[in-house]
Each structure stands twice: as structure tokens, then as C-alpha cells.
Chains A and B, each alone.
Chain A
Amino acid sequence: MSLAIHIEGLTKVYRGTTALRDLDLSIEAGDAFGFIGPNGAGKSTTIKILATLVRPSGGRAEVCGIDVVRRSDDVKPLIGYMPDVLGIYDDMLVGEYLEFFAAAYRIRGEPRRKRIAEVLELTELGEKRDAPVMGLSRGMGQRLGLARCLLHDPQVLLLDEPAAGLDPRARIEFKELVLQLRRMGKTLLISSHVLSEIGAMCNTIGIIEQGRLLYAGPIDEARKKLGAERVIRIRVHEEGEDDRSANAVLDLFRGHPDVEALKPGGAGEVLIRIRTDVEDTSFLAREIVRADLQLLHLEETTLSVEDIFLHVTQGRVA
């Protein structure tokens, strides 16, 4: 399989601060790669180097086999870049914004009109064509950013923290869009500082901290290897003892298709492990209400980056 992105020994030093140290990374064509790391880890720097916006201090980076430094003009048509800020002109309408960037990508005349209509349809912004860019919600702004990225039909999409600040509904819509792009054969690099935010959209992930790649590989493997699990803590109110309320919940969800395992957590609590591919956990609350139980507490404890780091670094030490 061919590599969409290939990075070797990449180093970046901003006056004094080392953002990247000797980073190696390969992403295969057609993959959706989740690039995870805390703030300041070097995600944006890596993405900007790939987008030809930042010159690396050392090492090599290629997009579809083309060096991003020496042949940046050839790389530009291949990539769609979405920064971690929206980059929106407040005096433009949605249609004008896309016209402007289509012109910047030297798409002219009839093809431009057609292409804009296509990306508007893909991102479901067709009705917003004459709306001011300023008034868009965060989710719609994000989709407009994606529409802009897609104007010149690039092979590789570099999305910097696209899911940050999206509400659950917008995140699900965004995930649908990403899945559709994968079906179209695009390669995606999606960064985030929270795994749960983008976990469901990606098939491979990489974990970066302090400019170093700690782990890279398929997400399922990572979850297994790291013991990653989504656990939900539930407590319901029931007259009498704690055990009885716990049992009521255990009975309710035992054998549920989306539940992988469950066990009492003590003090009337139940811990429920959800299957990794299940995004929507609202069914838990629904079922409890339907069973006429009084929900006291429901908390999702997702595997945080910090947990993963702990696992990864422990693995190293051991």
C-alpha cells in the first residue's frame, strides 16, 4: 500500500523551544489517522509543516511521495488544510467565501460554479449559501472550513482540532462527513487533545507528547493494548438498600447488545463497559427512565489521553 504521509526524523525548533524532536510517522493512503496529544505536544507544528506553512529545522516530510519543502508548489494542490482557528472573513457570505478560495486555487468559470455547488451539497450548507459567514454556528463553521478544504479536491486532508468545541450532535454530523470522505478515498489526519472526541472517526491513531511520537497503530489494537475502555458509572434511587438499586440496574442491562460487561461498583453504583464502536450512550438513561427507576447519577469515564500516556510510558519503563 502507498503512503499518503511519510515523516522521517522531523525536528522543529522555534527560537529556543523544541516543538518536534526526531518524529517518525507514516500514514497509509485511505486511512483516517487520529493525532492525539496534549496542548503544546507539537500536533499543529507537524500539520503546518505538512501544509508547507512551517519550514522544518531538520528531517524530511513527504505527502504522496513529494517533499513538502523542496517541492512545496507540487504539494499544495494535494492537501486540504483546516487550521485550529476558523479563519473566517466576517464581511463575507458563505458563497463569497468559497468563491474567494476557489479563485485562490485557480479554479475558474463553470468548473468553479460546479465545484462550489458540490462541496456545499456534501457539507449540507446549500441553504446557507447567502448567509453571512459570521453568523454560522461552530458546527456549521467547521463544515464550511471543510467545504473550503475540499474545493480543489485534494488527496490528503489535514484537520487541526476539528472537533474541538462541537456539541455532541455537531460531532456526530462531523463524524458522518469524515466517514463519507473516507469512502471517497481521502486520507485524513485529524488532531485532537482528547481521544474520545475523534476516536470514533479514525482507524489508526498516533500519540504525541513533547514533540515525540509515543505510539502509532490501529485504534482497536491501541485500545486492547492499553486496556482502553469506556465505562459508565450509574446510580439509581430505590427504597431500601444500596444492593437492591444496584441489582435493578444490573438486571436491566445484562445482555444488552451495546454493553460489553457490567459489574457492581459498591455503594449502590454500577459500572457498565460500553462496546468501543458505540457512540451514543443516551440509551442508558432512556432505559432507566422506562424501567421507572429514579436516576441519581450517570457519569461517563472515558479513557483520557492522560490514561493512555500513563499506559504508554509504563509500557516503556517495563
Chain B
Amino acid sequence: MGSSVGRLGRPFRSLARKSAASLAVVERDFLATVSRSRFVAIRTAVAAISALVVALIAIERSGSERDVIGRAIFTAAAVVVPLLIMLIAPATAAPAIVSEREGGTLSLVLASPVSPLAFVTAKFISRFLAILTLVLAMLPVAAVSLLYGGVPLNAFVEVIVLTLCFAALGVACGILMSARLRSVSQALLAAYLLAALGPVVPTAILAAFDQAGFGVPAEVIIESLNVTVAVPFVAWFNTLQGARSGGHDPDLLYWHAAVVAGAVVIALLLAARAVARESTGEGLWTQVRRFLPGRAGRSSGGRRSRGVFLGHPILDRGVRGSLLSHPTLGGYALPLLGAMITAGILWTALETLGFNRRGELQVAAVAGLGILTALGVLRVLAATSRSIASERRRGSLDLLLVTPMRSEEIAIGTLMGALLATSPLLGIGVLYGGIIVAIGGFSVPGILGWVVISTALLTFAGALGLRASITARSPTHAALRTFGIFFGSIAAIVLMFFIVAITRMDNDFLKFVAIALPPVLPFYGTWALDSVSANSSQMPGTEQFLTVVFAVGGYAISAALLALRSAAALEKSRD
């Protein structure tokens, strides 16, 4: 015991001694991250769209119901900003160490006077700073709620602190998994799993107890969650509630921040240990991993060679390649669990915390579906962007091109395979939406509309990824491009904050401009369809119909054109 404490203490001493060296790592890494054109472009886009929206709303700011609108915007921002950061933080951190290892520079760094802990800490700081700039870019948007009033300033500050907690947790999980796993995609999925599952499991268990009729009091749930990493979630609800009722508990938030800080320190120590073991043999994790299915140590033992079942070889491979791999199963288990738990939390909130206003529940429900769509886009982009580029890298693309298959077949088969492999997410969304319908916060047409529009959006995203994959120089290049597309689209998703404000706009033209921004469409379309069934008078029928037709038609046509252009690009690679 004493020796293990000593082992943990040693990195601290070396950290102090070598902080100068690690500062160099922070600086290099941060500058490398920040100076990427993609990075600058995204921040600029977020800022520009924020400015546009602020302008739109400033024009629209009508006299009546200002408090209501302010609170609605704040609630939406308090839901969406932390969720987005939760999504982006692990993604920003996951490549940090894996890519150094792939590039062979990790051993160079480790051979230098920089200690493993100093190294992972430096990575953590640089990626955290990068996330911080994104949070800052989104702040003006959320701050619009202050313009309207009805929101206490300290609630606003709490949301920022909370967001930073999520950022720290996500980055730490990304760094930890990056230190332990071999590829960026594995590290990314594992980081999501850790960042979201860790907090969520205790919540789920307690919520399940509650649902099963054991009558766990809400205070017990909250108190027990306080000692887990689930605290950001609790704090989140606390803040959301506080914003509505005016009452909140800042002490709780500080406690939460402290717990997160502790979790970050533990994650970094574990990451440092993993990096330190790199050269000295097999770590515990590697040994454990041997027993997991689908790992490097896999023998042919249990598996028999299978035929091509899904008719077309490319389609078959696309679906099975991503559906049957171990990390992917985790990648679907997580959203399923997350959706179920979110639904459970909404349910519990409705029952015990008095969170019973249909409008706010609806925002939460639509945001949940939106997150699923965003995850789906991420998955489809990851699958398609890898597809052709990695075939090319491996040398197997030539093997496909010499077969009698046409390039259209290869392009469309790849796209369809990626879509089919992502379709479980739509199923999860339907399940989740069904629960929300049962609670009474949503409608069946709303869910169907979400499925239709999301399918169109996923097809469009897949076609974009496919095209990037075909024209990219390398798989990494293709991944960077498509993640650029994804994070770029986040700029427009920021507009979701204003979904309530948009629905209340009087000026039809401005309203249309706001709606027509592509990533907003699925959410807005869902919202629009839902409001029909709810007999709400928020907008006339033709407008809702047009929104859906516009979204589906626009995405479908663009996707078809992109897929055909991809096939042409594949053909052109013969030159």
C-alpha cells in the first residue's frame, strides 16, 4: 500500500521539478490545436452565427412576455451548451496521445525530461483551453437571455461553471482513453462511454428503484449522486430548477466542482501510469482486454467464416464491419442507456421535482432527439469518411476496382452500409420518444417526423463523408475533414437555443431564414410536426408541411448528387 502511494507521489515530485519542460508541451500542443484552420473557422462561424441570431432577435424583441422568452432561451442554453461540450470535449482529447503514438513521437517525448504525468497534464491543459475558447464563443448566445431578463445572473454563472465541469470531465476521459487505447476511434468511443456512463449508471439504478416502487425519496437520490461523478447532472437539474424558481444552492455547485476536479486528477494519474507503462511491458488493462471479445489477442477459435448475407458484398461489409465490432456495440449501448436514463430522469423530474411544465419537457425531449441525431451524424460521418480512404491506404481499393463492380455500386453500397449500421440509433430515438409520449410531452407525428428528417440528414451527412473519403489524401485527412464538417455544423446547432424564440417570431421572413439553416431543420421539423398534433396555434399547417418537405427533399437531393459525384471521383482516381 505504502509503495503504491509512493509510486503515485513520485510523478507529482517530477511534475514540480519538470514543470518548465511540460509548459513547452502545453504551448506546442495548444498552438498546434488552435492554429488549425478548422479550429479558427469553427470559432469564427460560431461567433458569426451568434451575432446573426442576436441581431435577428434584437429586431424581433417584442414588448410582451419578455421574461418568459428570456427564461426559455436560458433553459435551452443550459440544456444544449453542456450537452454539446460533453459531446465535443472527449472528441477533442481522444486523439491527443494516440496520434503521438501513431506518429512515433510519443517515445521521443518520453525519452525527454518530460515525465509521463507532466505530459498527460500538459495534454489535458492544452485541450481544456481549446474547449474553453469554444465555450467563450458560445457565451454571447446564451447571454441573450440576460437581454430579455427573467434570469438571475448567478444562474448564468452556474451554467458556465457547470459547463466547465463537463469540459474537464470529458477532456480527462478522452486523455485517459487516449493513453490506454490504440486508435482514435476506440479512444473516442471509450471516452464517451466513460464520460457519460460513469455519471449515469448510479442515476439509472436509483431511478430504476424509484420506478419499481421502492419509493426512494428524491433527496436520497440527489444525496447519493453527490458522492459520484454524476454530480454535474445533479447540478444541472439544480441549476435548471433554480433558474425557474429563483432558488438555488451554490454550495452544491462548489461541491460538484470539487468532485469533478478529484475525478480529473485520478484520470490523469491513471493516464500517466498507462503512458509510463508503454515501455515497461503490459499494463493491467491490456491483460484485461485480452479477455474481451473483438480484441487484438483474438484467436479464430470461436468464429467460423461466414458468407455474404446482405446480397451485395460492399453493403454487407459496411454493415458488418461496423455493427459487429466490439467498440461499436458499446457505441450503441451507450446512447440506448443514455436515452433510457434521460427518459427516466424526465419521468422522475415530472413526478418528484415538480418539473411538470409541458413546454419545458418538450424542449428537453426535442434536445434528446437532437443529441441522438447529432450522434448519428457523427457515426455516419466516421464510417463513411474512413471507408474509401482506408481501403485506399490498405491497398484493397484497387482490388475492388478491378472487379466487375461499378464505381456507383461501390459508392452507394458504402453509403447504405453506413446508414444501415447507424439505424439502431433511430430505433433508440423511437423508443425514447415513445417514453416521452407516454409522459405526455410529445406526439407520435413528432417522432415520425424526426425519423424521416433524421434519415434524410444522415444520408446527406454520409454522402458528404463519402465524398471527403474519396478525395482525401489519407484516412486521417478524411477524418479531419469530416469532423470539421460536423463541428462546423455545431455552429448552426447553436441556433437550437433559440427554438422557442424562433417559434415566437412575428416576422415570417426572418423566421424562415432562421429555420432554413440546415442543422436546425430536424429539430424544428420535429417541433413543427408535434405542434400540429398538439393543436397548437404556433404556426399554420402549410408552413409545417413545407418545413418537412424542404428538409427531406433538400437533403435527399443533395445526398443523391453527392453520391453520384463521389462515384465519378472514384472513377477519376484512375487518372
Show the binding face of A for B, using Cβ within 8 Å: 48, 51-55, 73, 76-77, 79, 81, 83-89, 91, 93-96, 99-101, 103-106, 129-132, 135, 148
Contact B394 A87 (CB under 8 A): yes
Is B215 part of the contact surface with A, judged by Cβ < 8 Å? no
Q: How far is the CA of A193 from the CA of B324 in the complex (A)?
A: 41
Is B401 part of the contact surface with A, judged by Cβ < 8 Å? yes
A-B contact pairs, 14 of them (CB 8 A): A73-B404, A76-B402, A79-B402, A83-B398, A86-B395, A87-B395, A100-B316, A100-B317, A103-B313, A104-B403, A104-B404, A130-B300, A130-B303, A132-B298
Contact A103 B404 (CB under 8 A): no
CB-defined interface of B297-319 with A at 8 Å, one 1/0 digit per residue?
01110011111100011101100
CB-defined contacts of A106 to chain B, threshold 8 Å:
404
Residue of B whose beta carbon sits closest to that of A151? B403
User: For B305, B312, B325, B394, which residue has the most chain A Cβ atoms within 10 angstroms?
Assistant: B305
Contact A96 B404 (CB under 8 A): no
CB-defined contacts of A81 to chain B, threshold 8 Å:
398-399, 402
Is B219 part of the contact surface with A, judged by Cβ < 8 Å? no
Contact A85 B394 (CB under 8 A): yes
Q: How far is the CA of A88 from the CA of B396 in the complex (A)?
A: 6
Contact B574 A53 (CB under 8 A): yes
Residue of A whose beta carbon sits closest to that of B400? A104
Tell me whether A129 and B305 are in contact in the complex, defined as CB-CB below 8 angstroms, given that A54-B574, A104-B403, A105-B403 are known contacts.
yes
Number of chain B residues close to chain A: CB under 8 A: 29
Show the binding face of B for A, using Cβ within 8 Å: 298-300, 303-308, 312-314, 316-317, 321, 325, 394-396, 398-405, 574-575
Contact A96 B306 (CB under 8 A): yes
Tell me whether A132 and B395 are in contact in the complex, defined as CB-CB below 8 angstroms, given that A52-B402, A76-B404, A104-B403 are known contacts.
no
Contact A101 B394 (CB under 8 A): no
Tell me whether A101 and B403 are in contact in the complex, defined as CB-CB below 8 angstroms, given that A93-B300, A132-B300 are known contacts.
yes
User: For A55, A88, A100, which residue has the most chain B Cβ atoms within 10 angstroms?
Assistant: A100
CB-defined contacts of B304 to chain A, threshold 8 Å:
93, 95, 130
CB-defined contacts of A131 to chain B, threshold 8 Å:
300
In the assembled complex, the CB of B436 is this many whole angstroms from the nearest CB of chain A, namely: 37
Q: How far is the CA of A55 from the CA of B403 in the complex (A)?
A: 16
CB-defined contacts of B307 to chain A, threshold 8 Å:
99
Listed from nearest, the 6 A-B pairs whose CB atoms lie closest are A95-B305, A85-B395, A103-B313, A87-B396, A87-B395, A104-B403
A93-B306, A104-B405 known; 17 new pairs, CB 8 Å cut-off, are A51-B398, A73-B404, A83-B398, A86-B395, A87-B396, A87-B398, A88-B394, A91-B325, A93-B300, A93-B304, A93-B305, A95-B306, A99-B305, A99-B308, A104-B313, A132-B300, A148-B399
CB-defined contacts of B325 to chain A, threshold 8 Å:
91
> A55 contacts which of B299, B300, B405, B575 (Cβ < 8 Å)?
B575
Contact B394 A51 (CB under 8 A): no
CB-defined contacts of A132 to chain B, threshold 8 Å:
298-300
Contact A53 B303 (CB under 8 A): no
CB-defined contacts of A55 to chain B, threshold 8 Å:
574-575
In the assembled complex, the CB of A247 is this many whole angstroms from the nearest CB of chain B, namely: 54
Residue of B whose beta carbon sits closest to that of A97? B305
Q: How far is the CA of A131 from the CA of B303 in the complex (A)?
A: 9
Contact B303 A100 (CB under 8 A): no
Q: How far is the CA of A84 from the CA of B395 in the complex (A)?
A: 9
Residue of B whose beta carbon sits closest to that of A73? B404
Tell me whether A83 and B403 are in contact in the complex, defined as CB-CB below 8 angstroms, given that A91-B321, A103-B313 are known contacts.
no
User: For B299, B303, B308, B316, which residue has the most chain A Cβ atoms within 10 angstroms?
Assistant: B308
Tell me whether A93 and B303 are in contact in the complex, defined as CB-CB below 8 angstroms, given that A105-B404, A106-B404 are known contacts.
yes
CB-defined contacts of B308 to chain A, threshold 8 Å:
99-100, 103
